[in-house]
Chains A and B, each alone.
Chain A
């Protein structure tokens, strides 16, 4: 080992303030999440009183000895219908937002979103295949998550394979390969759709537009391991994303094996996103607007952005789901429509703000 240069580090009174996640960032995010979760649990068609629902939930907490005013039916509605839908919303929103933030960091591109490398088109094709091969029957819909997940992973793997050129793999070639793969998968999907009947088309459209409404605990348990593992890896990699922001060459000079780190981050974000879309369909915009809104609130450092994306992303999607269920009640608006409807104007506001900031 070569000798080490030891800088004289004593005798400076200068106190630096590096970006760090502090209580003043986390507490509002947790409060937002709780508000969203409560709003989600107390709204719904069964006519339960909001306070009753809250007391029902609190009564299950140990040590509090609160008695629930709800009967057995009410209890089932809360625990078997509303709770799993809310939890699924939290998981999906959290992983979409954190994946979006990570993709933006890896690609050094503020417009990168979790669908950049073909997850959405691959999942769409997978789901379409499952639905048309089962003729829109019940057995087909139960195969949709696995097929969508498989399609998403295959699409991203194809993007990776195609992006390798003679000079290695750059982020630009990855993005371009992603565009090509997405176009190809979407073309196949469109072809399949126009070959089939309107019953199946209806099922496909419902899936594509995204939603949490068919959720039960089984779906939550299905995706939980992927989303938890993916989020854990991304949260652990938050400092690597900060280091990557100086570009490949300088990040390497600072000691980061950029290719390796990029692969880990993209892999984790892809698995989490694939799991999310496999049960919720294609919900857009969350991966872009949530991270950008957090950048405005808490600055650009990934040390803050990544963990906060989990909290705000989960809360945001749960709130969007409340809007989807109540806006035109009893009719339900597709969740993907709500996020885009709220997301697009919000995105423009963010864009104007950020132009002021730089």
Chain B
């Protein structure tokens, strides 16, 4: 169970998050969506204890205050950042093993269980053939899976992922999502996840939180949150929503030209400049 209440974050002298609250039950999956700069990454970093914040973060009844011991926190929350630093000469094995840092003794070596967990994760993420490869020789998507493997090796009950699927192909993106879903059903993993692909959000998460300018715009089941009007208002995009077998499917479509633009246009057809701009769409709603 992850509870975030009235979270406020100031960055560079300005408030980036204004009192965000959310609760994800054990085994639940919350997708955080919103336009660029809405504060999604900041929310996740606050949950992982990486930025100073006001308000509270709780995992399974344990309050993770800003001064909480890092190792203890790492056993409660695993974090996959939006952009990871991959030391180019480190092997995939050594990298994934870093996820066990909070489990073995502070200065000591990893135990055989640490190695077994690492091997299990490496295998499940399809990295077995790459285990001995330096990170600098991986493709973007392979690297991203290595980062995810490292986070899963942490065996924390809460997994926080910042756009983990952006550089994955369709198949691997599905693989990662299915694996996460399996883990949450098998082990009660609680997932907090940001994503730009609203379809993925709708298909996998039990709830969607739409963040806009550091505030919760709407929050609830995907069917409630994802409306053409909402998407148009906050993303400035025109979409149609179709009912799919695993939740709503969001299909971006070309915006309808405004009737007024045709009326007095005469011989000249509607040029690109006359298409409604996102802002205009937003203001017209």
Contacts and interface: CB of A to CB of B under 8 A. Distances in A.
B85 interface: yes
A26 interface: no
Interface of A is mostly: loop
A262 to B, nearest CB: 13
A2 B59 contact: yes
B94 A18 contact: yes
A254 B122 contact: no
Contacts of A249: 45, 50, 81
A239 B93 contact: no
B144 interface: no
B26 A3 contact: yes
B238 interface: no
Given A5-B189, A239-B107, A253 B136 contact: no
Contact of A300 (B45, B76, B90, B101): B90
A173 interface: no
A250 B45 CA distance: 10
A297 interface: no
B120 interface: yes
A16 B79 CA distance: 23
Contact of B79 (A243, A253, A358): A253
A19 B91 contact: yes
Contact of B122 (A8, A16, A253, A300): A16
Nearest to A1: B62
Interface string A1-28: 1111111111110111111100000000
Given A243-B101, A246-B87, A14 B123 contact: yes
A5 B101 contact: no
A104 to B, nearest CB: 12
Given A7-B121, A249-B50, A18 B97 contact: yes
Contact of A254 (B60, B72, B102): B102
A253 B78 CA distance: 7
Interface in A250-264: 250, 252-257
Interface residues of A, number: 42
B276 to A, nearest CB: 40
B187 A14 contact: no
Nearest to B89: A300
A358 B188 contact: no
A18 B110 contact: yes
Interface string A231-242: 000001101101
B187 A301 contact: no
Interface in B94-126: 94-95, 97-99, 101-102, 107-110, 113, 115-123
A64 interface: no
Contacts of B115: 16, 18
B155 A4 contact: yes
Nearest to A19: B94
B207 to A, nearest CB: 20
A68 interface: no
A46 interface: no
A250 B97 contact: no
Of the listed residues B62, B75, B89, B152, the one surrounded by the most CB atoms of chain A closer than 10 A to its CB is: B89
A15 B128 CA distance: 9
Nearest to B60: A2
Interface in A262-303: 295, 299-301
Nearest to B115: A16
B91 A257 contact: no
Given A8-B120, A256-B70, A14 B131 contact: yes
Interface string B50-94: 100000000111100000011111111111010011111111011
B157 interface: yes
A357 interface: yes
B98 A12 contact: no
Interface string A102-118: 00000000000000000
B214 interface: no
A355 to B, nearest CB: 12
Nearest to B77: A253
A50 interface: no
A5 B84 CA distance: 23
B49 interface: yes
B222 interface: no
B116 A10 contact: yes
Given A243-B101, A358-B136, A236 B107 contact: yes
A240 B70 CA distance: 13
A300 B86 CA distance: 13
Contact of B118 (A16, A245, A301): A16
B70 A255 contact: yes
Nearest to A299: B89
A14 B91 CA distance: 15
B280 interface: no
Given A5-B156, A7-B117, A7-B120, A250 B84 contact: yes
A252 B102 contact: no
Interface in A211-235: none
Interface of A: 1-12, 14-20, 236-237, 239-240, 242-243, 245-247, 249-250, 252-257, 295, 299-301, 357-358
19 contacts: A1-B60, A3-B26, A9-B116, A12-B119, A14-B128, A16-B118, A17-B131, A18-B97, A239-B109, A242-B94, A249-B81, A250-B79, A250-B84, A253-B49, A253-B78, A253-B79, A256-B101, A257-B69, A300-B89
Given A239-B108, A257-B70, 12 more contacts: A2-B76, A5-B156, A5-B188, A17-B93, A17-B131, A18-B110, A245-B90, A253-B74, A253-B77, A254-B102, A255-B71, A357-B89
